[in-house]
């Protein structure tokens, strides 16, 4: 039965164009989840492939997972909405306690890590638990929060 819940409109994330520089790219392991239901041997093979990818590269690509591109796009849009619309003061107040507690929940602000020769990272992220009640969220998250209106 189709959902009758109206999702709030939020700005769509538009990624930058791929670089035209001739860069070398890593070949990532592709995990095909369509084989998961093929029995214990297939699941063990997937688990082994995942372990190997995590140990050697730290990254992998998952295909045939059953999540539509529309669902993925919506989640990316929600993340973009939170990162671009939440005020810095609120992000600072809700900064994660990674060093203190090892928790990656809440915001990781830019300049958290020093990369090399005084250069600091420009990566900003907002992490939340599947159980949205476990922590406070930025006020900008409220309209898209919950299973019905935005976060599937």
Residue-wise pLDDT for 11-21, tens only, equals 899 999 999 99
Q: What are phi and psi of 133, to 5 degrees?
A: -85, -5
Q: How confident is the model at residue 2 (pLDDT cuts 50, 70, 90)?
A: low
- Between β-strands 29-32 and 60-63, what pairing exists: parallel, antiparallel or unpaired? parallel
Q: Full-prediction pTM beyond 0.85? A: no
Domain span at residue 109? 87-152
Pair 150, 78: CB distance under 8 Å: yes
What was the pLDDT predicted at 105?
84
Average pLDDT over the chain reads: 87
The reply to whether 92 falls in a domain is: yes
Rounded to whole angstroms, how far apart are CA atoms 28 and 142?
A: 36
The reply to whether 77 falls in a domain is: no
pLDDT digits (tens, 9 = 90+) for 73-130: 998 998 899 999 999 999 999 988 888 887 778 898 888 888 888 899 898 999 888 8
Q: Is the pLDDT of residue 149 over 50?
A: no
The reply to whether 125 falls in a domain is: yes
The reply to whether 24 falls in a domain is: no
The reply to whether 79 falls in a domain is: no
Pair 107, 98: CB distance under 8 Å: no
The reply to whether 108 falls in a domain is: yes
The reply to whether 70 falls in a domain is: no
User: Domain total for the chain?
Assistant: 1
């Amino acid at each position: 039965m189709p959902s009758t819940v109206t999702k709030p409109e939020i700005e769509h994330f538009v990624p930058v164009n791929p670089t035209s520089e001739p860069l070398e790219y890593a070949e990532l392991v592709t995990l095909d989840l369509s084989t998961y239901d093929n029995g214990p041997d297939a699941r063990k093979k997937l688990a082994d492939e995942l372990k190997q990818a995590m140990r050697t590269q730290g990254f992998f690509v998952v295909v045939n997972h059953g999540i539509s591109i529309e669902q993925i796009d919506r989640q990316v849009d929600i993340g973009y909405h939170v990162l671009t619309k939440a005020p810095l003061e609120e992000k600072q107040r809700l900064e994660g306690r990674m060093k203190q507690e090892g928790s990656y929940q809440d915001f990781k602000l830019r300049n958290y890590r020093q990369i090399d020769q005084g250069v600091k990272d420009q990566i900003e992220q907002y992490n939340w638990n599947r159980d949205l009640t476990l922590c406070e969220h930025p006020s900008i998250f409220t309209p898209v929060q919950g299973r019905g209106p935005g976060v599937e």
